[in-house]
Structures are given as C-alpha cells and as structure tokens.
Structure 1
C-alpha cells in the first residue's frame, strides 16, 4: 500500500480464471480502517481496470496518472478514499506494449504468451512452431489459424445469459458460407496479426470471467465486511467489459440502495453498445433485451460511458473483429451499428441521456439508475496510433471529474 498525492493506493490481482492472487486482505483492512476513521458512509473505494495488451507496468503507469488527477478533486474526502488498481492477465504481444522489453523475434514474442496462458503451454509452443516455419501456413491442422484459435478457451460469460453479443448473432456465417480461414488471411497483414486476432478474442472473453468470478465477488465481500462502503468502478477498453461483468458477480441485491456499487464509468468501453438496452433494434429477434440490462438495479448511482469518433480501435476494428468472431458478416446492417462498441457511440438505448464531458468544476446532475452517454469528442481525440487512434487518450481532468461527480465525492 502506498499513496498518490495523499490518496491511499493499493492493487489487487486476479489470474485468468478470476481467482484473487493478491491484495484482497490488504484492501479489506484498509477499507475497514478508513471507514472507522470517517463518518458513516463516507468511505469511498475507486477501482480502475486496464484493458487488452497492457503489461503490469503499463497498467501501473495508467493508474498512477489517473489517480493523481482524481486525488486533487476529492477535497475533504481524500483521507477516507481508497484507490485500487486491478491487475489481470491481458497482455498479448510485446511489440504492442512499449512498456515491456521487446522480443528478439516474432516467434519469441509468441512464446512469451506462455506467461498469460499458463494452462496452455503446449498450445503456445505449437503456435510458436507454426510461426517459426520457413513459410508459415495459415490453413490446416498445423497452421496458424488452428493453433491460434486453440488459445480461445474462456467462455464469453461463465454465468449463462450474460453474453452481450448473443442477441445480435444470426450466424454461423449468417447463411453466407463464410470461410473464416480465408477471411482471417485477407484481413490480417502478417502472421502476427492472426495471433493478435485470437488473443484479442480470448482477452475479451477473459474480461468477463475475471469480472464475474473475481472482481464482482471481491466487491460483494467488501460491501459485506465494511458497512456503508461506497464502491466506484472504472474500466478502460476490455477493462470496461470486466467492470460490467463484475455486476454479474456482485449477485442479487435487495434494492439498489443495498448495493455497495454507487457509480460505474466505462472509459472507451470495448463491449457492445446494446449491452444495457431494454430493447435492441438490431437483435436477431428485434426488441430483445440487452443481457446486462437488468444489472442497472445493482448500481445505486449513475452508469457513465465516454465515447468519441476519434477512437479507431472501437469505431473500425472492434465491429469487424466481433463480426468475424461470431462468423456473421452482417451484410444487411452497417457493422459499426450492429456490432458497435460502447466507446464508439455510448449506450444505444432510448432511455440513455447524452451529455458533454464537462470541464473540471462544471456541475453534473446525474440521477441514480440512469445511463449517460458522455460525448468526449472534444477531449478524447489525440491520434496516438495508426491502429487505435484516441482509444487510450483517457488521462484527462474532465474524465476524472465525471468519475468524482458520479461518486459525489467532489470538493
């Protein structure tokens, strides 16, 4: 445990199955101590979860920067607030993360995946062998497609009924005879791109597993052991999906007021923008409810989602990757609409409220139980990479001000 400009900071870590590996006892003790020293109901705990392809070092840098901004907004709430960085095994290739040492070769880079696929050492080795061939083959039992696909073992939702993509699926192939191997070969620029595609699918699924079986139960235990604790969940990219599925793992609550979760912030969320919709117009059965729609009852406060058109990762690549994942070309609908991501255009539902991501100090009028689309086009817009655009351009005072305002902890 340490501090960031006076803000208590600690970390919790989960493995790929959502098992808590460190930090849980320290968090419970710190929250109990902060609660005992504060007025009843004044202890606030902010959780922040990183996204895909973040090493632990990258995640820690993100958390330090984000919580440094938050600390200056808490005023008299600073001493009774705890910031928690969530570490989960989402890193894929070293060449995609400048915070880690780069692998000597593509084969070495793939073999390094063994660190985040501890139960699949043989699959990783076979994938490395396939990539190391003089002329790597895509198709066939020993080809890159089959070997990389073997890495996808996590379910989209361990608890049945909460896969937010399920209502949108009309495949396999949507009756189009889709040849996935040829399609993957066409859309991938090189052999490592094929590896990226399937590690992407695994980490997307894994986020749901860690949320449901890891973070959700930890938050539930925190609420049970520390009376009046106020929990605020923030997640970036696939970390936003993790946070959404933590609401599943929270379990049933008698009413929103009984829930320890008082606010949720999805930062450029990489999961379906229909997830919380009472009725999905693009569903295979139009009007079907989003699988996470009922979970707003587990949040005693607002749910926020930032969105920006400058996020190329979510505006272009996410819908294409999701469309391919579900073997559905979606030719009858614009894929960015049907397969769109939360961080591209926010909650897609009639009962969502649109608001501008406001400057620090500007008042918000957030209402509990309401979903807010925070238009971040004027803030989250730095073109940080040819692939992702502004996807990770989230460290801004305006972002943390929205979080603090939703949590009602502003000075």
Structure 2
C-alpha cells in the first residue's frame, strides 16, 4: 500500500515513487486511482526538489501535510465550499539525490557521484582524480583536476546547461572561492550534477508525473487538481500544469529561471519555456521568494550560467525564481505578512523572507518551508473563487 500516515492527524497521503526515466517503480498509483474514484473534490500533488531520496521525501511530505492539516480554520472553510471538500493527497518521489551525506573519503562516494553522471570506468576515474585532489589540496585546482572536469563535461549526456554556455570548471572554482560556503574544487562537481538533475526534473514532469496526473483527472473529472512543487520540483509541477487541468499552482522556492513565464527572454529570441502555462491555470499561481535562500540566491545563478553572471538592470539574466519571483510578465507583488487578495488566473510573487529564514548549511533557508503562514497561503489559493 502507498498510504503514509501523518503525525498527529487521522489523515494519510499516497507516496508514489518513480525511476530516473519517469517510470513508476511499483504499483502505488493503483491505490491513488482507487481513491480518486471515491467522490474526491480536490487532489493535491506534492513534488520535492533536488537532493531528495525516499526517506527525505517521506519526511518532507509528512511535515508539509501536517502543517496544512493544522490549519483548522482553513480546512473548515474548505468543507463549506459548494459541493463540499474531500481531498486526495499524493506525494511524488523522483530520484534527485545529487550530493548526499556520504563520506567523501570513501570509494562508495566516488562511485555514487560517477553513477549520477552516467557511470562507467572513465567517469569513475575522473571523479576519483577530483576527490583525491580535494582531500590533499582542497583550495588548488591542478591541471589533472581540470582535465578530469573537462572529460566529465564532454562525456555526460544532456550537458551543457539549457542556455548552451560551455562548462568552465576553473572559472567556476574561482567564482566559488569568493564564497567558501560553495565548496572548493568539488564545487564544479556539484554543478555538473545540478544540470543533470535540473534536466531530469523537467523530463519527470513531462513523463511519469504528467501520466499519473492525467490518470487521476480521468478518474475524477470533476475534481480540482492542485500542484505544489519545491526547488526543482517546481519545474516538475509547472511541466505537469502544461498537460493537465490544474486548478492552482504553488511554486515554493523554485529552482527554475525567473524568466520561465516571460513574454520575451532578455537579449534572446522567444518567450520563457513555460509561458504557455499562463492562461491554463484558472486559480492563483503562487511563487514564494526569500533572501535567506542561498541555494537559489547564490548557487543557482552560478550553476545556470557557469559563473558568468549577467545583470540586466534590477534582475539577473540567470537568476532563480526563489530569489526574484516571476519576471518578464505581469505578476502581483505581496508580502507574507499581508498577502492581500489572490486573483484567479494570475501570478503572485510573495516575499516570504520573514518566514523562510532558518539557515541550514550551504542551502541557507532553501528547505525551510514547513510554516503555517505558507500552508495558509496554499489554502487561500484553494479557497479562491
């Protein structure tokens, strides 16, 4: 069974796991579809972000669902909606573990990092060169290390990044030296994996995640579907909104371009990749931001453009959604302390700096999203009529 309990509540959610190609690992979706046919009015899909394994996904979803369930007044208001309220909660897990807590000195760490970049003896040897150098001289990039990075960049599929810029390990390393928290000569290895997982989030959103959402929509055609993503999960959720009739879309600290919905890309032809989502979501589209999110504020632009940060007046060309919100199209601006009305069918950038603020290592407050203020924000989108 796919049902997971929620601490302190008599409710549960479904956890459905997928592999890196977007195929379901088990048969948990059968349980989801069974429940979807039982007079469900609202279906919530939750999608985690980068660096999440199954235990991490289970912990995040359990905490988030509990935070939503603790909002008693909002739950009661939902039950007073025309037609009532009966929810179906679904957490989707995709393999996004990019940089775990493994012992960097171990052979398992080396093999795991090489596997995430495609595997094979050549990649194992290249990662070993980088890791062994990091143990001995963490603040110096030798010719051998640079050559190892060049080999990885040339041999890993789906690279370079979506902007087409070449990977420059030495430049990335020098940029990271300006902020020690980004991490010495291992930092380009993080960024190679960042690109890989960013691409995987989009593929998952357009394949396995979209499939289960379509099947649920067919099983419960009158139900409202609410999509909530965190970090790279925002890419997945937005990709899902491109193909399923989502009622609301909530993007928590999105690790995706601030120009994703833009009418025109800055200095380039065409519009944002997800421009077409606007107009497809009849309810509010919520985007949270925080200046305490170092993963999006510091690491994302560095990885997205290989350290070549380009400023365009107020907003950087390669900044992330979780720092700057949606740009390049009309969006309402709010503060979490006084969010105001949420208009249906429109984008709402919500500054959550006062709430998303607990620093946790290199990511800053990136994962600090389980707060009642944020849960009420999602509830308000659900209740908007």
Q: TM-score range by the shorter chain?
A: 0.7 to 0.9
3-state SS of the aligned residue for 2:380? helix
Distance 1:132 1:51 in 2: 25
Structure 2 residue aligned with 1:25: 30
Structure 1 residues 306 and 392 mapped into 2: Cα distance closer, same or farther (>3 Å)? same
The equivalent position to 2:240 in structure 1, one of 216, 231, 246, is: 246
Residue 27 of structure 1 deviates from its aligned partner by 1.0
Q: Does structure 2 retain, via aligned residues, the 8 Å contact 1:277–1:289?
A: yes
Structure 1 residues 63 and 116 mapped into 2: Cα distance closer, same or farther (>3 Å)? farther
- Find out whether 1:272 has 2:247 as its counterpart: no
Listed one character per residue, the Cα deviations across residues 32-76 of structure 1 (whole Å, up to 9, x for unaligned) are 12x2xxxxxx52111111111122211211111110011133236
Structure 1 residues 71 and 132 mapped into 2: Cα distance closer, same or farther (>3 Å)? closer
The equivalent position to 1:57 in structure 2, one of 55, 58, 61, is: 55
Q: Does structure 1 retain, via aligned residues, the 8 Å contact 2:126–2:149?
A: no
TM-score by length of 2: 0.83
Return 5+ residue gaps in structure 2 as ranges.
Answer: 177-182
Distance 1:7 1:278 in 2: 41
Q: Does structure 2 retain, via aligned residues, the 8 Å contact 1:130–1:142?
A: no
Residue 127 of structure 1 deviates from its aligned partner by 3.7
Structure 1 residues 351 and 331 mapped into 2: Cα distance closer, same or farther (>3 Å)? closer
- Find out whether 1:126 has 2:130 as its counterpart: no
3-state SS of the aligned residue for 1:109? helix
Listed one character per residue, the Cα deviations across residues 137-193 of structure 1 (whole Å, up to 9, x for unaligned) are 86569943135436743489xxxxxxxx86xx5x747xxxxx824313423543432
Q: Does structure 1 retain, via aligned residues, the 8 Å contact 2:342–2:384?
A: no
Structure 2 residue aligned with 1:284: 268
| 1:289-308 equivalence runs, <5 A | 289-308=271-290
- Find out whether 1:381 has 2:357 as its counterpart: yes
The equivalent position to 1:180 in structure 2, one of 145, 158, 168, is: 168
Residue 409 of structure 1 deviates from its aligned partner by 8.5
TM-score by length of 1: 0.78
When the two chains are superposed, the root-mean-square deviation of aligned CA atoms in Å is 3.1
Q: Does structure 1 retain, via aligned residues, the 8 Å contact 2:20–2:94?
A: yes
Structure 2 residue aligned with 1:111: 111
The equivalent position to 1:87 in structure 2, one of 83, 87, 93, is: 93
Structure 2 residue aligned with 1:153: 157
Listed one character per residue, the Cα deviations across residues 258-278 of structure 1 (whole Å, up to 9, x for unaligned) are x2x111111000111111122
Structure 1 residues 24 and 407 mapped into 2: Cα distance closer, same or farther (>3 Å)? same
Return 5+ residue gaps in structure 1 as ranges.
Answer: 36-41, 96-101, 157-164, 174-178, 252-258
Q: Does structure 2 retain, via aligned residues, the 8 Å contact 1:320–1:335?
A: no
Q: Does structure 2 retain, via aligned residues, the 8 Å contact 1:138–1:144?
A: no
The equivalent position to 2:229 in structure 1, one of 235, 250, 265, is: 235
Structure 1 residue aligned with 2:321: 342
